[in-house]
Structure 1
Amino acid sequence: MVVPWLCDERGNPLDEQQRGLAVSDDAHLLINAGPGSGKTRVLVAHYLHLLMTRTDWDVDAVVTITFTEKAASEMKERISKVLQRIAREGQEENWRKRAQQLLDRLPEAPIGTIHSFCARLLRQFAIEADIDPSFQVLDDLQASILRRQVCERWLWAAITQPNSSEIKDVADTIVTYYGFERAVKILTKLLKLRPLIEYRRSNCKPILCRASELEESEKALEQCYDYVAEAYGTAKREINGLDFDDLLLRAWKLLQNEEIRQRVRKQHFRILVDELQDTDQVQVKILRLLCGWDEPDSHVKFFGVGDSQQSIYSFRNADVSVFNELWERAQKTYGWRAERLDINYRSVKPIVELANHAFERIFIVSEKEDASLQRIRVRFQKMKAHRILAEDKPCIEFAFFPFQNAQSKWQRLRAEADWISQRIIELTSNGVKHSDIAILLRELTNASVYEDALRRHGIPYHIIAGYGFFETMEARDLLSFLQVIAEPDDEVAWFAWLRSPMIGVSDETLFWLKQGNFEQISCDELAKVERAKKLRDEAVQKADQVSVRELLEWILSQTKYDVLVAALPQGKQRLANIRKFLRMAQEISDGLKLTVRGLVRYATALMEGAERIGEPPLAGATTDAVQVMTIHAAKGLEFPVVIVPMLGEVNAPKSSSEELVADPEHGIAVRRYNEAGEGLKREDSKMSHFREVDEFRKIRERAESERLLFVAWTRAKDHLILVGAEEESMQKGQAKSQNSGWKNWLELVIDTLQVPVGQGQKEIELADSVKVLLWDEPSVAGEKTKMEQPTPLGVKWMEGKEPIPDLTSLKFDLPLGKPSVIRMNVSDLMPKSENLRSVAGDILAALEFGLVIHALLRYEILNPDEQQLLWVAQTVGADAERILERADDLKMFVLRAANSSVWQEARQAKICRHELDFCCRLTNASDDMPAIDLVGRWDLIAERQDGWLIVDFKTDAVASPEEAEHKVNETYYWQASAYAFAAHRVFNAPKVQVVFVFVALSEPKEVRLQFPEPKRDWTELQAKLRDRISSLLFGQITSPQNC
């Protein structure tokens, strides 16, 4: 009889080896599972086996950790489908009953990422962890913005202290050596490397290098790191936030408590981990403590699945050496059961055999190498093919085209893209569906070339993920516009905006602008440049008065940009991109209270970081279309036909030009500078540690790049096509040693497989018997690629037909001694204890509550039902469950607010605006002080006949009207002052009245403040605000508690 939970979601039973692993439960088990071997099937079956055969276990007994939330959702879906089938068709009644029980509890099952599990653990043991259980988790980009902001503010405050102190001395030292901007950048990077630093400290290893080798600047840098780390922690506490690193580090610390560990183990009996190769040292420390690997009496069993050959996420701190070391210790030290899954059910036999032949020569671990080097390489796990090819014809193609050095990069890429398009036409004419084909790129930087080629050949396509939505032409154009507002000295942003369809100047004009030779520019082109300058100047004025979205909608109307891009190929997709950019810009600026400059930095972090935001899908995006995506995005997927282009463009890692390099094994190194601020050359004896760490980083990244090629190769089910352009003078047949390395992927493939390029199109045999179709010129079926249509003007610049100005020599004079501007949110002016005040003793944050009240008033929903409350909660990003818990209070507060006299005044005003963002600049008191951008949001602002009115409804739990007045004077005065001054600056308001309405009182109390105050003017109020901000900045300088 077939056991139903030992089948996949389609009812197919596991093979004998998979089934044996799925039911194994007598010891810790580690599985090294090759591509296409069914590791997820085994993991799901093991999960179901544990819970179906132990009817006294609840779903909490089994913790399942996945690499992404998406993978967790997919795993839950697989589990659900199997359980549904058992509940519906199970042969035994007790099976059906148990399956239904598990289905009912599945939504509560601890299946998710290691971060979500740690967050759950910290909330459960919040008192022991010394945190507020209602903390919010900052995503990577929110944390990135906050880190930069903290470092910038702390360093500026430190160097501007009036009196000498240890803090001022170390801050002055790093600014002297590195300059202000560079010092901020280094400190920000150190904060990002906090898990590595804490791990090294826990093992008594230095942050940078041995104390005896530290220079003065490096000693100061280590001290400054401790200060900014504490300042960063303070900033997070003020918003009740934890970043992803906090979740791991705090959970690690929590589990070091013996009593906590025992309590956790009484709740969780099994720990299952998928994609184990993508963990880091801290995560494995957490798993070790959870399971008690070093404790013989622990009853918690571990079940881990991974594949070191597919470890490709170092940019997310994944460390392949962790898996390799655990695999070795599992057998030699722990005595675990360690098994391999090596039958490939995905790819046909020739694809598997050639992969075996190639990668057993690429994945080499030399016993003569240092142990640390051996750990970052992988030993090849040979695959066994399950699928036999029905037809005896090549299912692998190599299209390796020669080029001359005179050809530009764009000409090479254009030739590749055209060849691929022609080949896709041939494949689809022979019955292959477009949706069966995937083009996998190392990154989407040059995806526009393929987009253009596919369009010209009439091939439907869809671009998925990659470097992300902000890499699309439309997002880049709109971002360039915002950048010239926020950073007017950024010439690259100016050139990008001028060249975009918004302005439309030619490359020749850009060249002459760079040279300063305006006489060479035609009158028409000069008119475009002048118009751009006027638009920019007007936009700067508007930026202080309107929201980011309104600013973008204004530039669209002025330039007709949306009309222009709609006329381009894929016009509907481009319009969708514009709409998404407007929506995301508004959401990001609202959510993080960012100015235009902050939004630009956030988007830049998106493009430079690991986050991936896909293009918005259009209706029909899932129809028959070629899929273009990054190899990272394709991880875990499979396609009948896989095309991997641009092999010649994926280069080996180069020496770092950054200020800081890091490696999990060798630590962190900072580039050293001389007294003139010039970076020392790599060969300098003082750069030995930097050189050592950087060399190890290069080796690590080279090894990961090889694994990335393996992942791309093994996505193919039926057909694999590798495409690349190579130099005609390239020497063939000279395999590279590990020391000399390879120049690019194309060279790696040619040399490893001894591909006989340059001998014409033909069918060859590699690895003794694998047939490969070899192309060596950009043509299909003997015909040269032809241009079917004239090239649109919008893409001419990519083809090398117009001279592209050299922008590499641009120099930017950045301030070395101080920042140019400091950004402060209105909430920063308030006493810190008020940032997290509670509402009437309830756990609901006052901010959330206030947002919902203002939204209900805005939409005039005065007696909301449950559905309306849920909708409003979703609209403002509040916790729906908490909102429903306080529904009665909400209704009461809304009615009180609506009946207040100030609400009636606002409704009768000639202008009344809700939730209006503002940004106003406080002018400098002296040349030594940077400008200050004050940002915030008016919940309700109205223009009356006698002046402007600003209303803020407060839900504070005050006991009397007198306490409400005291609250305003002690807590909200600076908020009111900032609101009023911003209204004066933005709307030129001569008089402003700020009214706080305390709706928690049965008779709401209105506290009114008039600005400017009697016998004072707006200049004095600006000075007071400046002094307040200065005092807050200096007040942030505190010594670390645990130095």
Structure 2
Amino acid sequence: AVLVERIIRKITNPQEPVDIDRLLVVTFTNAAAAEMRERIGEAISQALEKDPDNRQIQRQMTLLGKASITTIHSFCLDVIRSNFQHIDIDPNFRIADETESTLMKLEALDEVFEEQYEKEDNKDFLELLESYGGNRDDQILMDMVFNLYGFIQSSPWPEARLNEMAQALSLEEGADFGHTSWGRILLDVARLEFLGLKEMAGKALALSREAGLDKYLTVLKNDYDQIDYVLQMIPDPADSEGAALSQGPIWDKVCRLIESINFDRMPTLGKDADKVSQEKVKKIRNQVKAGIRKLQERIFTAGSEEIIKDLNALYPKMSCLAGLASDLARKYNEKKARKSMVDFNDLEHLCLELLTQKDEDGNLIPSQTAVTYRERFVEVMVDEYQDSNLVQEIIIKMISRAPEGRPNVFMVGDVKQSIYKFRLAEPEIFIDKYERFRKGEDPSSMKLDLNRNFRSKEPVIQLVNHIFRRIMTRRSAGMDYDEAAALYKGVSYRGPLEYKAELHLVEDRQIEDENLDEEIVEMKKAELEAHVAASLIKQNIGLPYYDEKAKQQCFLGNRDMVILLRSAAGIAEIYCEALEKEGIPAYMDTGDGYFDTLEISVFLNLLKVIDNRRQDVPLLSVLRSPIFGFTIDELAEIRVEHKTGSYFDAFLYYSQQGEREELKQRCRETLSLIEKWKRKAKFLPLPDFLWELIRETGYYSYVGALPGGTQRQGNLRTLVDKGAAYESSLGKGLFGFINYIDAVRKGKIASTPTKLLGENDDVVRVMTVHKSKGLEFPFVLVGGLGKGFNREKGGAASFHKQLGVALRQVDRDKCCYRKTLLQNIIEARQSREEMAEEIRILYVALTRPMDKLILLGSVGDAESAMKKARNQGPAIPSKARNYLDLLFPALSDYKDILFRIHDRRVISVEKLERPDPERMLGKAIAQGFDVNKSFYDMVAERLNWTYGYPAALINKSKYTVSELSRRHEKPERRPVGTEAASEGAQRGIVYHAIIEKIPLGTDWNWDIKRIADFAEDLVQREILSAEEIESVDLSKILHFLESPLGKRLLNADRVYREEAFNLLMEKDGEEIIVQGIIDCYFTEGDKHVLIDFKSDYLTDKPENIAALKETYRPQLELYKKALEQIRGIRVDETYLYLFAVDRAVRL
């Protein structure tokens, strides 16, 4: 809204009007760019309504189509295409998709390693392989090289950054480590830590003075002075005097000072001393002591000589690793050049190459191309600026007029909502610029805090401000949640339809006591939470709220309610199941792209299990999925009987010695199926295996019945296509395909989200916090608040954008390894940045609701946890393991929130906790008990009772047309062909897809070439695959269009294709719902003609045609009935069109 308003003011300014094509507007996504263009168009239209004769405004409407409202990647693409002659690139280049680019990178990586193996006397490479390669192959080292290549692509100049990181480990012996690049980084890290410790020591001192704890003052003042003295010895990079003071040896001096810090014993106080303040002071002091100890253990572990020796020992390995990444880049670039292709990283780097150059002193300055863009754009506007990165920042700087002293960049963003670190966003850029503008260090620039919130009612705003004033600080999140950052109410409503926030805690200590796998524990906790969530949703449906936009009272419906989760994997479906059980329609809207969809995620886990059964997380996911259908309680029961080893060990044990025979048999069948599929994977071509697996598991039909089923089935077919593409290029079977998919996912390339629902679908949405960003809902329930944060696990190499790369030290003679000082620092920095990101994610979640906010999480003992939080004092984000650890201390003194504790024992979802009636009855009989005659009569009456509606016991409530039609089928109803049924069905899908999509009307003169071109277009749009097109005879489409019925269709007044319906019918005295999809019907004047396309194999014999008519007659009768009842029309003619014999048959 801010950007749109500024644009409108710019282009309609009567004194200094600016044409809209002289503004560059950069947005985060293509969807945001399209939305902004639409909103600007609406605003221009409104301006024209007020002043229709204004030529300037008329001109803007004309120019809007070519205005530069775009993403940064689209802008880079435009720069490259317009200036290709200045760089070495084919002007007809195209952008590679993620599959293609990943395959080429993997091919290049293979070639790099093959070359290394062929070299003679390749000592450094072999040393690197021995140190960091796997025990059986070189996959771990290959992954390191692949990851290093991907990591440096986020740098403006990757090759230079790679060399710089390697050289940082080549140090002069006898040098002072404090003056090396790494030493300066570590000293600055230590300086920031000491600043925090000094602040804490000062707080303990001030608190003692206020509470009259005079005996503490001398000891605490000594603590403070020691820390302050060390701090003075560590140079501040921003302080020129401090830099001058640090010219001499510094590292060893600071090491000795830290070692000399001594914490004296605290004196004993009298009985009348303030006990509460006394405990607080001691707690703060213990934190200071722990901070000093942590610095000694993580940073100041050794003197200069020892550290430099260690780093120099790593230099050959790092240099070799950097060389391999450089070779990968070279070979990958060669492959792209041969195919006239670029990837998304190339767009930014090539654009930088065009826009920058260096002066005589080596300083970066704008190129002549950049100057051209600078003159073209009067102003550069950047939306979502908090998600920018260094590459984008340099691009904007080169085309702006800031270097000339005429700043013309307008940036809009909220750093509190920067939650895309995984997409290489650098919120530090925003924070640094905000601080400089705030302090007036850049006189020609200014900041404007837009902190008025026009979304949420007062209770939500008060809660958000209260929480984040306590947990969002410069130390924890890089910024202070002060008065400028706080939210202020912008909505006008105040009254009875304002609702307090609620915190619901589910006690789960019994689950923790069961000693189960972490994954099963998380599932059980999620199941408990999900049932509480479903109950809360049900209670709030119909709740009145005030719609600020409509200015009227409304009532909560399903579409007004959303459940937000930090992570959806394995959890979102549990919530949806709980909602569905309560009769509440629900939908998972959780993924950012193809690989995050439910169907692909589950199926990839199945492939991983087939390849290697000893992977607990994929195994549990697949066992619980509809493919195998185990419940969480059954999974827990299996684990309880065998608590050691992996979960697969427990599953194998239960299949042989399990207590329950039925469950034991299911385990055996599951293992048998997995083993069978593993054998098939070895001899079948990969795409054939994938397709057979999809159909054999029934998963294709299952996902087809879900919301957006057609799209989900298309996603599974696309996976088969990816398998074919992989095998044709690399041909490494299932294991290689799984690694390839993982490489694509790690590439973090944003896929196009799948839009399966619209705003008006009446369902409760379950989505991730990331997916909810920018959205708003009257009712928001934030779940999973007790779930532990996901932490990056350190490996052989640690990566950090600013700090670089650190390798662990490997001693092959002693067969051991250890983390290096540099790894410790990178992991500590990563931990701090991850916590800052989690705080910002929590902020985004809590600012989505307009009217009501409910917080939900699991905790072992709620009363104990809250009591501990009250005694703890201020929150310590760095020690938080989950969101509740942040919320408890922050809410301990907050009164305007409703608390409720849910005891696990009264949440009726745990089958294992319920009594087993059969087992209890057996035990009672064994022990003997007295019964009277009335008891026997009652048992006999119940055993002999017959249900009055037997059809309802065997009939479902919902049928497809095909299921009902099969009631009329007779054995051997169809002529048998020679082809496989699955091939015929697949071919039918292709024919249907072409008929559904092909343009109709008299303007189209179809011939076989045009049909082939149209089919190729379907492949390019990823509606069908090349293999699917090749499986059908396209001339049959032409035969249909040239047939009398086809010509009628082409000339019809109106055509309807793939029309879905639900029809209420009676079956055996019970009401049922029939679902179906009508292939096609069209209108000719008042007549309506129905067509159903069939691809069954048959010969053109009269008896075969007659048999087929009878087979499909019930199905067509149902279609006809649906159209006549639902559409209110009369179907005059009904046809089967048989592709096998190119004939239309009238029924």
Q: TM-score range by the shorter chain?
A: 0.5 to 0.7
Spell out the pairing of 1:33-432 with structure 2 (5 A cutoff): 41-53=1-13, 58-87=19-48, 89-94=49-54, 97-139=55-97, 142-155=100-113, 157-164=114-121, 168-179=122-133, 180-198=138-156, 206-207=165-166, 209-212=168-171, 213-214=311-312, 215=314, 216-257=316-357, 258-296=367-405, 301-330=408-437, 331-333=440-442, 335-365=444-474, 381-387=485-491, 388-391=493-496, 394-404=499-509, 406-407=511-512, 408-430=521-543, 431-432=555-556
Partner of 2:568: 444
C-alpha contact 2:708 2:756 (8 A) present in aligned 1? no
The code of the aligned residue for 1:175 comes to: L
Residue 694 (structure 1) shift = 0.9
Match of 1:695 among 824, 828, 833: 828
Higher helix proportion (structure 1 or 2):
2
**Aligned CA distance change for structure 1 residues 486 and 327 (closer, same or farther; 3 Å):** same
* Alpha-carbon distance between aligned partners in 2 of 1:125 and 1:467, rounded to the nearest angstrom: 33
8 Å CA contact 1:400–1:724 kept in 2: the answer is: yes
Letter paired with 2:382: V
CA distance in 1, matches of 2:481, 2:336: 39
Check conservation: 1:648, 1:746, Cα contact below 8 A. Answer: yes
3-state DSSP class of the match of 1:647? coil
Could you list the per-position Cα deviations for residues 294-335 of structure 1 after superposition, in whole angstroms to 9, with x for gaps in the alignment? 223xx6721111111111111011011111112233441352
* CA gap 1:694/1:725 in 2 versus in 1, 3 angstroms: same
Residue 628 (str. 1) matches residue 766 (str. 2): yes
Partners of 2:613 and 2:860 in 1: how far apart?
Answer: 41
CA deviations on 1:664-694 (whole Å, 9 max, x unpaired) are 3322223333327966344xxxx10011011
- Per the TM alignment, residue 866 of structure 1 is displaced from its structure 2 partner at its CA by 11
Q: Kindly tell me: are residues 791 and 627 of structure 1, through their superposed partners in 2, closer, same or farther at Cα, counting changes over 3 Å? A: farther
Q: Measure how far apart 1:194 and its partner are.
A: 1.8
Q: Secondary structure in 1 aligned to 2:778?
A: strand
Tell me, in whole angstroms, the C-alpha distance in 2 between the residues paired with 1:872 and 1:565: 26
Of 638-647 and 48-57, the range deviating more from structure 2: 48-57
> Could you tell me how far 1:63 is from its partner in structure 2?
0.9
Measure the CA separation in 1 of the matches of 2:337 and 2:913: 55
Q: Is the 8 A contact 2:502 2:853 kept in 1?
A: yes
Evaluate the alpha carbon distance shift between residue 220 and residue 725 of structure 1 in structure 2; reply closer, same or farther with a 3 A threshold: same
Letter in 2 for 1:78: R
**Shift in Å at residue 661 of structure 1?**
2.5
Match of 2:858 among 725, 730, 735: 725
> How far does residue 250 in structure 1 lie from its aligned partner after superposition?
2.0
Are 2:471 and 2:875, in contact at CA under 8 Å, matched by a contact in 1?
no
Whole-Å separation in 2 of the counterparts to 1:341 and 1:914: 49
Classify 1:916/1:266 alpha carbon distance in 2 versus 1 (closer, same or farther; 3 Å): same
Task: State the one-letter code of the partner of 1:344.
Answer: N
After TM superposition, give the deviation of residue 784 of structure 1 in Å: 4.3
Q: Name the CA distance, whole Å, in 2 between partners of 1:201 and 1:162.
A: 23
Q: Within 1, Cα distance between the matches of 2:464 and 2:577? A: 31
Aligned-partner Cα distance in 1 for 2:788–2:46: 46
Does the C-alpha gap of structure 1 residues 564 and 790 become closer, same or farther in structure 2, counting only changes over 3 Å?
Answer: farther
The residue that corresponds to 2:604 in the other structure is: 479
Counterpart CA distance in 1 for 2:338 and 2:66 is 30
**TM-score, structure 1 normalization:** 0.64
What does 1:831-850 align with in structure 2 at a 5 Å threshold? none
TM value normalised by structure 2: 0.58
Aligned to 1:453: 578
Cα distance change, pair 647–432 in 1 and its aligned pair in 2 (3 A): same
Q: Distance in 2 between matches of 1:454 and 1:517?
A: 32
**Where does structure 2 lack aligned partners over 5 or more consecutive residues?**
172-310, 358-366, 513-520, 544-554, 640-646, 659-663, 915-993, 999-1003, 1034-1147
The structure-2 alpha-carbon separation of the partners of 1:715 and 1:171, relative to structure 1 and needing over 3 Å to count, comes to same
CA–CA separation in structure 2 for the residues paired with 1:914 and 1:386: 52
Q: Per-residue deviation at 1:482?
A: 4.2
Could you say which residue in structure 1 is the equivalent of 2:1050? none
Partner in structure 1 of residue 888 of structure 2: 750
SS state at 1:46 partner = helix
What's 1:665 paired with?
A: 802
Can you list the C-alpha shifts for 1:551-591, whole angstroms capped at 9, x where unaligned? Answer: 4443344444445677xxxx433854651333321454566
TM superposition shift of 1:402: 3.1
- Give distance in 2, aligned partners of 1:791 and 1:870: 62
Aligned positions of 1:813-962 closer than 5 A? 871-872=1014-1015, 874-877=1017-1020, 916=1027
Match of 1:649 in 2: 787
Q: How many residues get paired?
A: 742
Larger Rg computed on CA atoms: 2
Among 699, 705, 713, the residue aligned to 1:579: 713
Offset of 1:748 from its aligned partner? 0.6
Rounded to whole Å, the distance in 2 between the matches of 1:914 and 1:645 is 40
Structure 1: distance between partners of 2:665 and 2:467: 59
Q: Spell out the pairing of 1:556-575 with structure 2 (5 A cutoff).
A: 556-562=694-700, 571-573=705-707, 575=709
1:333 aligned counterpart, secondary structure:
coil
Contact 1:275 1:306 survives alignment (8 Å): yes
Taking the aligned partners of 1:499 and 1:643, their CA distance within structure 2 comes to 25
1:456 and 1:788 in contact (8 A); partners too: no
1:705: which partner in 2? Answer: 838
Q: State the distance in 1 between where 2:151 and 2:598 align.
A: 32
Going from structure 1 to structure 2, the CA distance change for 1:558 and 1:348 (only over 3 Å counts) comes to closer
On the 8 A contact 2:451/2:488 being kept in 1, the answer is yes
Give 1:424 deviation, angstroms. 0.8
1:405-460 CA distance string (max 9 Å, x none): 54443332222111111111111143311111111110111112201111111111
Cα distance in 1, alignment partners of residues 529 and 623 from structure 2: 30
- Would the aligned equivalents of 1:416 and 1:723 in 2 still touch at CA under 8 Å? yes
Q: Distance in 2 between matches of 1:512 and 1:201?
A: 47
Q: 1:638 to 1:141 in 2, by over 3 A?
A: farther
Is the CA contact (8 Å cut-off) linking 1:83 and 1:103 kept in structure 2?
yes
| Contact 1:268-1:300 within 8 A present in 2 as well | no
Once the two structures are superposed, residues 695-726 of structure 1 have per-residue CA deviations (whole angstroms, 9 ceiling, x without a partner) of 01110110111011011111111111111122
Q: Which amino acid aligns with 1:172?
A: L
Amino acid at match of 1:304: M
Please give the alpha-carbon distance, in whole angstroms, between the structure 1 residues aligned to 2:564 and 2:787: 13
- The equivalent of 1:1003 in structure 2 is none
Q: Deviations over 1:370-402 (max 9, x none)?
A: xxx985777660121122432176431111233
| Structure 2 letter corresponding to 1:390 | G
Look up the equivalent residue of 2:764 and give its one-letter code. V
Q: Which residue of 1 aligns with 2:643?
A: none
CA distance in 2, matches of 1:399, 1:236: 54
Residues 956-1015 of structure 1: per-residue CA shift (max 9 Å, x gap): xxxxxxxxxxxxxxxxxxxxxxxxxxxxxxxxxxxxxxxxxxxxxxxxxxxxxxxxxxxx
Match of 1:537 in 2: 679
